[in-house]
Amino acid sequence: MTLEKKFSKTLRHPSQSQKKKIIITNLNGADLSVTDLSSADLSYANLIGTNLMKANLSRTKVEKACLSKNLGLSEEVKLNLTKRGAIVRKNLTFCLK
């Protein structure tokens, strides 16, 4: 079972009135491409090496989330995530909180 399938119910909650929340925060290397993460809580998540190509990150909580070596993140998106509290580095291999 892939990581995306394992958490698909959490990531794509059918009710727009409820916030989506990811409980497992080690998403290192996961394929979250084309995933709706809007309003998800990814605070403190390890997103190193995660494929975020075409993922919807609008309103996603990213405080202290670690991002590095991610596919699909433009410099503009990286700057926006940094402003929202994410730790975005070029060559991070592990994340210390």
pLDDT reading at 59 higher than 60: yes
The pLDDT of residue 10 is 47
Q: What is the mean pLDDT of residues 45-59?
A: 95
Closest CA to 61 of 42, 44, 80: 42
Q: What is the mean pLDDT of the chain?
A: 81
Could you give the domains of the chain? 1-10+20-89 (2.160.20.80)
Rounded Cα gap, residues 36 and 24, in angstroms: 16
| φ and ψ at residue 87, rounded to 5 degrees | -100, 105
Gap between the Cα atoms of 22 and 8, Å rounded: 10
- The pLDDT score that the predictor gives to residue 8 is 40
Residue 61: pLDDT band (50, 70, 90) is: very high
pLDDT at 6 over 60: no
Q: Is residue 92 very low, low, confident or very high in pLDDT (cuts 50, 70, 90)?
A: confident
Alpha-carbon distance of 87 to 29, in angstroms, equals 16
Looking at residue 23, what is its pLDDT? Answer: 54
In this prediction, residue 14 carries a pLDDT of 46
Classify 5 as helix, strand or coil. helix
Give me the pLDDT at residue 13, please: 44
